[in-house]
Amino acid sequence: MENSLNQYLELIQGNLATIDANAPEALDALRPEAVEALRRFGRLPRRGDEGFPNASPEEMFAPDYGLNITRRPIPADVAASFRCDVPNISTLTAIVVGDSFHPTATLLKNLPEGIEVMSLARAAKEHPTLVSQYLNKLAANSSAPVALNTALLQDGVFIRAARGARLDKAIQIVNIFNTPVAMMAVRRVLIVAEEDSALRVLLCDHSQRADVDYLSSQVVEIFAGKDASVELYDIEESSARTRRLSSVFVRQDSGASFFSTGCALCGGDSIASSRIDLEGAGASASLGALVIASGSRHIDNSVLLTHAAPHCTSRQLFKYALFDDSRGAFGGKVVVRPGAVRTDAAQTNRNLLVGEHSTMHSDPQLEIYCDDVKASHGATTGQLDARALFYMRSRGIPEDEARRMLVQAFMMDVADSIRLDALRDRMRLLVEKRLGGDASASCADCAACK
């Protein structure tokens, strides 16, 4: 079997001077260890490997994608990424074209004292000690895809809330693909929320060309200090030829809260993993995901959530609606370490197989190493309620409309859990539009929305 990792190792070896010259020293310093880790891994994970029942990073990275290692500027029509007539969200916005960071004038003008949002490359130059303290400390070449992201890293996004700084508005990072040739973007996001601070971050993926192959390699590291609050929203609205592999790492100190909702509406194959470490007493984490997949798309989500301190709480709710021949997977493990007494953990995975040939793989797990713990997990997979469908049809509702309404109702509790009012309204409308059109159509095509 072909080993797609070799092409990247050869690229790095043959262009190391160029890659290093176009990145700051603090990022270059991570490269040798990442390359060595890749050599130890030997290959990228394949379908059927542990944690990858459906999608294959090996296949995702195999095509000959372009990489912008010389950091050439790529223009972008930002307005083209916001074509759906949904309510506006008042955010502080930055654009990432490929993997190059571009702040908007609104962002630069309205950032309050104590909040920093900038290019990771710039942060590495202006705050080298701070970046070195946090960058790659959680990810730490923990898998071959993460190590590859670090080995190719030249830029990214740096977000920091100083002690006591609180930002009610969301910081919106809009990731854009728009090149006429196949392109891979190496995206890195470092979020540091210091003690008693608060941040809301919205990540949006858009592809402006539906006829070109793209690959997004994304690693997000989040540090939540004592009593800090971090909300992370991640929305995929890209083309069917855009593949995505995302890894999120979170470490929480005592009293810190982390809230995350992922919405996979349109796009190609997608693999998302999260590792959440509740290391301080009284920390809390809430994770949710809403997945709508059609065609032959594969969507994999995996979570490793560790309770390492007493009196911590965690909640997980992942819901899939799978059409056509699409396939989904959810792997969730909650680990309760010795001494993590009074843990309260719940993990739920609910799935609808709408398509005749759609399939779902669910693997929830608990590992508990102490007493005085409340923990539960559960998963269900089934089809639309035939009785409810019959009842709606008997009341004159066409079958297609009845099916859409039932799927929409099934997904709404994830959307309703979103804490940002404007974003919650937007997600309700986007789900309605996604289900109201052809289930196999891409959200990149506005004509698909009725």
> d(Cα 427, Cα 447) in Å, to the nearest integer?
19
> d(Cα 309, Cα 312) in Å, to the nearest integer?
7
Q: Where are the beta strands (DSSP E) in 108-241?
A: 115-119, 157-161, 170-177, 183-193, 198-207, 214-224, 229-237
| Element housing 416 (H / E) | helix 399-416
The CA-atom distances, in angstroms, between 325 and each of 351, 353, 360 are 15, 10, 11
pLDDT tens, residue order, the chain (450 aa)? 468 999 999 999 999 999 999 999 999 999 999 999 999 999 999 988 887 877 899 999 999 999 999 999 887 666 655 544 444 567 899 999 999 999 988 898 999 999 999 999 999 999 999 999 999 999 999 999 999 999 999 999 999 999 999 998 899 999 999 999 999 999 999 999 999 999 999 999 999 899 999 999 999 999 999 999 999 999 998 999 999 999 999 999 999 999 999 999 889 999 999 999 999 999 999 999 999 999 999 999 999 999 999 999 999 999 999 999 999 999 999 999 999 999 999 999 999 999 889 999 999 999 999 999 999 988 898 888 778 877 777 888 887 888 888 888 888 889 888 888 888 888 888 888 888 764 444 444 434 333
| Element housing 15 (H / E) | helix 5-21
Helices and strands, number each (H, E), in the chain: 11, 19
Query: 85, exposed or middle or buried, with CB in 10 Å at 0-12, 13-18, 19+?
Result: exposed
Name residue, tokens 């730490």: 140
> d(Cα 87, Cα 97) in Å, to the nearest integer?
24
> d(Cα 138, Cα 222) in Å, to the nearest integer?
8
Which amino acid type is present at position 218? Answer: Q
The DSSP letter of residue 166 is B
The pLDDT assigned to 440 comes to: 43
Dihedral sign, CA of 432, 433, 438, 443? negative
Name residue, tokens 């083209």: 80
Query: 128, exposed or middle or buried, with CB in 10 Å at 0-12, 13-18, 19+?
Result: middle
The pLDDT assigned to 324 comes to: 92
Q: Are strands 157-161 and 115-119 parallel, antiparallel or unpaired?
A: antiparallel
The DSSP letter of residue 127 is S
Q: 296: alpha, beta or left, given left = phi > 0 and alpha = psi -120 to 50?
A: alpha
The pLDDT assigned to 243 comes to: 96
> d(Cα 33, Cα 155) in Å, to the nearest integer?
18
Torsion of CA 430, 434, 435, 439, to 10 degrees: -170
Residue 32 makes CB contacts below 8 A (sequence gap 6+) with none
Other CB atoms within a 10 A radius of the CB of residue 340 amount to 23
pTM score above 0.75: yes
In degrees rounded to 5, what are phi and psi of residue 174?
Answer: -100, 110
List, edge to edge, every strand of the sheet that includes 242-252: 115-119, 157-161, 183-193, 214-224, 242-252, 270-278, 298-307, 327-336, 359-368
Asked if 136 and 128 touch (Cβ cutoff 8 Å), the reply is no
> d(Cα 381, Cα 362) in Å, to the nearest integer?
9
